[in-house]
């Protein structure tokens, strides 16, 4: 597209063009990164390693260093997305049950219908 073609577009059309161009650039960059990662994984595997062996910072990037994720012990039978390890801050869904039943958190933990695993 030449500059004279751009001169014929109004501001809304230019904004649409810009948005489409940015979306296309982002899609191509994502595709290029994926291809590069695949190639790197292939080359590293050919030498008997994994990317995490070469780049240790890739290991468990989602968890804090030195902290292990605790197993989930309690869940809300009404909403399986609500779960809790039983340690740390009491989640809102647990607090709502505790308040509704007029019990404390220790009593909540002893109710079998909320347990995933036998609590220690």
Count of beta carbons in the 10 Å neighbourhood of residue 97: 19
Q: Per-residue pLDDT tens for 19-73?
A: 999 999 999 999 999 999 899 989 988 888 888 888 887 776 555 556 678 888 9
Pairing, β 74-76 against β 79-84: antiparallel
- Closest residue by Cα to residue 40 from 55, 57, 27: 55
pLDDT for residue 120: 47
Q: What is the DSSP letter of 9?
A: S
% of the chain surpassing 90 pLDDT:
46
Mean pLDDT, rounded, of the chain: 86
- Where do the domains of the chain lie? 1-63, 74-114
Tokens found for residue 24: 């296309």
Q: Is the pLDDT of residue 119 over 60?
A: no
Helix/strand number for the chain, H first, E second: 5, 2
Q: Is the pLDDT of residue 108 over 80?
A: yes
Count CA within 13 A, CB hemisphere, residue 16.
6
Coil vs helix vs strand at 3: helix
**pTM of the model as a whole:** 0.43
């Amino acid at each position: 597209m030449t500059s004279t073609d751009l001169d014929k577009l109004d501001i809304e059309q230019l904004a649409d063009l810009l948005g489409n161009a940015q979306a296309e650039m982002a899609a191509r960059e994502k595709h290029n990164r994926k291809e590069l990662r695949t190639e790197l994984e292939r080359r590293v595997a050919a030498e008997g390693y994994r990317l995490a062996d070469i780049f240790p910072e890739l290991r468990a990037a989602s968890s804090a260093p030195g902290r292990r994720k605790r197993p989930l012990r309690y869940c809300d039978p009404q909403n399986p997305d609500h779960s809790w390890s039983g340690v740390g801050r009491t989640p809102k869904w647990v607090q709502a049950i505790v308040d509704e039943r007029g019990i404390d958190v220790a009593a909540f933990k002893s109710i079998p219908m909320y347990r995933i695993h036998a609590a220690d």
